[in-house]
Structures are given as C-alpha cells and as structure tokens.
Chain A
Amino acid sequence: MAQYSTNEFRPGLKVMLDGDPCNIMENEFVKPGKGQAFNRVRLRNLKTGRVWERTFKSGESLMGADVVDVDMQYLYSDGEFWHFMNQKDFEQYVAGESAVADVIKWLKEEDNCIVTLYNGMPLSVTPPNFVELEIIETDPGIRGDTATGGTKPATLSTGAVVNVPLFLNKGEVIRVDTRTGQYGSRAKT
C-alpha cells in the first residue's frame, strides 16, 4: 500500500491510523506565522465508526488502507453469519455480526448493498437507500383516512419498526428510507 503525505490527504482517502482503517473527512492546514506547520485532520475510524481528530506535522505520512467498496447482493443469513455475493465475479463473502449490526433491520434477501472490504474481509455494509418491506404487524387500518396525518408503529418483515400512516394494513409492502428509517410510500405493485 502506498504512503500518503499530509498534503495528499483528501476527504474520502482511506488510511491506517493506530492499526485501524480510517476515512479522512477533513484536512486543515494550520501554521503560525513563525513556527512549524501542522495539518489538523478529522478521520472516521471505519471499524468503530468513531470520529478522531489528530494533528500531524506537515509532511508526515500515513500508510494507505486496503479498503474498497464493492456492490454485492445480500443472499441470506444462517443466524451466525451474513452471506453476500459479488455480482461481477460471483464470489461469495461472509460477514460477521459486527459488520452488519447497524443495518440488519434493512437487509432483505436479493437486495443490492455496498460491502466495504478491508484486507478482503467485509468491514461494514451499506444497504440501498430505499428498501421495500412487508408489514407483518400493525393495528388495523382506518379505511379512507389519508388526510389526518396520524401515524402508528408497524413491524416489518426484517424486524424493523417504523411509523406508518393510519390507513396501511398488515400484508402491505412499503418503501422505507434506510438513511432516516422513515416511511416513504406504498410500494408500487
């Protein structure tokens, strides 16, 4: 892996810091009129999701991280692992719970996800921005109530719970924004 110097740090560059792969978010050049130049850098630790702020002497360098985002299809879970397939070469990847913990409730079989690989192993999974899921449990719908704007909780096939309009019923398929966890619309059939 290549070395990157502070003047090459750009948002989106993946580097190794303290043994963990990190994504550079911001890089600000800081220099007193008389004195050493520094770069104040904000990075997201891709393993923990935590944001770090670190200052480097200008000209210092970090090792690039072997991190790539790959489009994959979610296949199934065996209860312990989550299985994905690269649709280009049909190679299958197995993700542990830590990689999918935040997104389990949005994973639907055959949906296309982005799997972030670190040294060839799934590090994290990003579900599609919108997923279509079936309501498996909710209070009975109030027919014709499309105007009051009230909502009720509904449990979806993946276990996710979202607030939906009052007129929806068990068995209907809805479209949800996975970035906000909010109901979007009824799925077109």
Chain B
Amino acid sequence: MDHAPKLKPEVKSQIQSKVDWLPNASLQALQKRAQLTHKLRTFFSERQILEVDTPLLSQYSVAAAQLQPVIAHLHDQSHYLQTSPEYSMKRLLAAGSGCIYQLGKAFRHGERGRLHNPEFTLLEWYRVEWTLAQLLDEVSMLLQECAKTPALVQADYGELFIRHVGFNPHLATLGQLQHACIGILGKLDTELIRADLQALLFNHHVEPTLGFDAPIAVINFPEEQAELARLIQPPCIPYCIAERAEIYWQGIELANGYQELTDASELQRRWQQRQQECPHPHPDWSARQDPRLLAALQHGLPKCAGIALGVDRLLMLMLGESHLDKVLSFAVEQA
C-alpha cells in the first residue's frame, strides 16, 4: 500500500506551504471507503432495514466508566458527543421503529493509537425479535458481501480462555486473576476489577491468535462483562453467561454485539453496580445515567439483538494496512 497513489496536488505555485495540510489517506483508500459505505447501505436497504440518524450531541452520555465522552458546550449547559448511538437507537426501538441501522460518527475522549482515533465511524444495527445467533449469521453475510471475508466462525470465550490462559474465567477467584496478571503488569494490581483483569488476560494471550483464517465471533462472555447484554443461566453449569459477542479479524477487535437487555430494573441495578465498582467515581456520573433510556425500557424495549462495528478498522484490514490513520481522510492531529 505504500505504493498507492498519494493525494498530492500538482504544484501550481512556487510557494510551498510549511503547514502540513495534506490528508492521511491515499486516494485509493478514500475510494475504497466510498465503495464500502455504499455496499453497507445497499446491504441494509435490500433487507428493508430503516436507516436512522440520531443526534451526536446529547444531554446525557453512557453509563460506562471506561468510556470518556468529549464534552461540548451549548449555551450554558454541557452536552456530550456520543460514544455510540446505542441509547438513542434503543429509544427508537422502544417507540416501535422496527429494525434500524445507523452509519455515522462516534467520539471517545483520550482514545488514540494505532487502532484508535477519538472520532471514528461506527456501523450499528438492531434486529427486532431476533436472537444473537441469528444476528451473527447476518454479520457473516455482511462481512462476506461487503468485505469479501470468509464466513464467520464462532468460539466460546471460556474455552479460549482455558486453552490460552490456563483456567476458567467464569469460576476464577479475584486473587487468581490478579496473580495471572502480575507477569503482564510487573506487579500485583488490586484496583482492577474482575472484568478488567479478564479482559487484560484475554487481550494478551487470546486476541493475538484470533481470526487469521476467518473472522471469528467470540460468544458466551463472563457475567461481569455483560455490559448491556442479557444474562442467561445455562443448564448444568454453576454460573451465568452474558449473551454477548465480540468479532475479531486478524487479531483485531472489530465489533461488539448483544442479545439486548430489555429489563429496566436490571438496567438500574447494573448502573448502580458500575458506579460502586469504579475506583474513582466519575464527577459527571449522574449525566451518564440517561433517564430517557430508562423510561424507554420501562415502557418496553422489544426483544432484539444489536451490534456495533468499527468501519475504519474494517477498511484498514480490507486494505492490508496496519495503522488506522491510513484510512482516515484526516487523523485527529491533522483535523
């Protein structure tokens, strides 16, 4: 890809600007992006899924301690740029929209690196009355049709964890998880919660092995990583599992889906738990518990499955690039 045509204007004047104003992406990457978004929209319109366009600017953010919103000031009031359209889209679902999708921008403060830009393009969609398994079949179709990948395969979170880390994450004690992380962190960390310790071990030992033959959906997450996924108690095992799926391709996290939690009282319970777990309670926590989402769930969110997919990362992998900036017109430092 280093030989891809660069977007460089013909020199029209002798005066060369010292300001670096040129884009990060090649012309080929911009063309590929346009083709991909066209294919994605075609995929959904063929299936009669309604495209929606919810606000980027909202009075409330999300109740996830690990997501820092970008704060914007509107008159005298702080607003938040959306970290994902999840809450708005669920309110549309509760209002009876039927199946919907959205292809748009999301913002996450402080996330910057080879695979992160604070502003990024997210594809999120919801299927009413569907199970997560049905939705994963559709994800497989989408990846094959729009990104020419092989069919999606599946693996169990617990089984992968046992194979690569050596013990069952569902049953592991906090001390066991903390000790297993010493080699990675160089010390015993007693502040990290179970979900973070599991994720750290998974990230180090499992993720680099995932999705090299075909994209893979990791399913059946530990209860503590349920986020807004429904919990189920499978027969004959002594713990609950979260109906959550993460899609990986070439060792990189691409999408995250749930059998959506529809129980309003359970939502409130999880929000309170998140707040208690957070070692340094967030000053704007009240702005993260959106009463309108809670009211929508109390009114009734239909049974549904939903997933959000990072479009920039998908495009990066389709083009064989290893840095997200290569598919962004302008990365944040150039924006």
Contacts and interface: CB of A to CB of B under 8 A. Distances in A.
Given A18-B186, A28-B114, A29-B112, A34 B256 contact: yes
Interface residues of B, number: 28
B116 A29 contact: yes
A55 B195 contact: no
B200 A36 contact: yes
A120 interface: no
A155 interface: no
Interface of A: 7, 17-18, 28-38, 52, 54-58
Contacts of A58: 110
Contacts of A52: 186
Given A31-B116, A32-B253, A37 B200 contact: no
B9 interface: no
A36 B114 CA distance: 17
Interface centre among B184, B189, B227, B310 (most CB of A within 10 A): B184
A32 B203 contact: yes
A17 B114 CA distance: 25
B204 interface: yes
Contacts of B189: 57
Q: Is the interface of B mostly helix, strand, loop or mixed?
A: mixed
Contacts of B67: 34
B111 A57 contact: no
A150 B17 CA distance: 53
Contact of B227 (A28, A34, A55): A34
A61 to B, nearest CB: 14
Contact of A37 (B110, B185, B225, B246): B110
Interface in B109-168: 110-116
A54 B182 CA distance: 10
Contacts of A30: 113, 203
B225 A34 contact: yes
Contacts of B196: 35-36
B200 A55 contact: yes
A122 to B, nearest CB: 27
A96 to B, nearest CB: 28
A34 B66 contact: yes
B40 interface: no
B180 interface: no
